[in-house]
Structure 1
Amino acid sequence: MKAAIYSRKSKFTGKGESIENQVQMCKDYAQNQLKDKNITEFLIYEDEGFSGGNTNRPEFQRLMEDAMIKKFDVLICYRLDRISRNVADFSSTLEILQKYDIDFVSIREQFDTSTPMGRAMMYVASVFAQLERETIAERVRDNMLELAKTGRWLGGVTPIGYKSNPVTYYDTEMNEKKMVKLTQVPEELKTVKLIYNKYLEFKSLSKVETYCLQNNIKTKRGSDFNKANIRLVLNNPVYVKATDEILEYLESKGITCCGIPDGEHGLLTYNKQKTIYGDNGKVVRVNRDTKEWIAAVSSQKGIIEASDWLKVQKILTENKDKVPNLGKTHNALLTGVLRCAKCGSTMQINHGHQSRKTGETIYYYACSMKKYSKSVRCNNKNAKVAELDLVVKNYLKKLAMNKKVLLAKLSEQNRKSKEFNNSMNREETLKKSIAEKEKQIENLINKLAIDDEISDLIINKIKSIKNEISELKKELVNIDTIKSQFNETEVNLSFISMLLDRCSIIDTLTDDEIKQLIYALIDKITWDGEKYEIEINFIGSNKENDEEYKKK
Structure 2
Amino acid sequence: MKRKVTPETDDRRVVIYARKSKITHKGDSIANQEEYCKDYARLHLNLSEDYEFEVYEDEGKSGFYSDRPDFQRMIHDVERRKIKAIVCYKLDRISRKMSDLTNMIDFLNKYDCALLISSNNLNTKDNNSKMMIQMLGMIAEFERDIITERIQDNLEELAKDGRWMGGIPPTGFTTERSKTGRGKSKNAFTYLVPIPEERALVEHVFEVFLETRSYNQTAQRLNEEGYRTKMNADFTTLAVKDLISNPVYCIADEYSYNYFLDENCNMYGDKEEYDGFHGISVYNRTTQTKEESDDSTFLNPEFSRYTIRKEKDEWIVAVGKHEGFILSTRWVAAQKLKDDIADKYNRPHRATNALLAGIIYCPLCGKKLSVISESNRYTHGKPRFKYACPNAVRKGACTYQAVRGVELDEYVVSELAKLKEEDNQYVKLIKAEAKKFKASDKNEQDILTLKKDIEKLEQDIMLQVKNLRDVSDALRPYVQADMDNMAKEIADKKKKLQKLDAIEKQRSDQYSDLSKTLEIAMNFERMTKDEDPEVIVSIIRSIVERIIVTQEGKDSNVHLFLKGQPGENYDDFFADSDTLIDAESRSDELCDSEGCRKLYPHFCRSAIKS
TM-score between the two structures when normalised by the length of structure 2: 0.45
TM-score between the two structures when normalised by the length of structure 1: 0.49
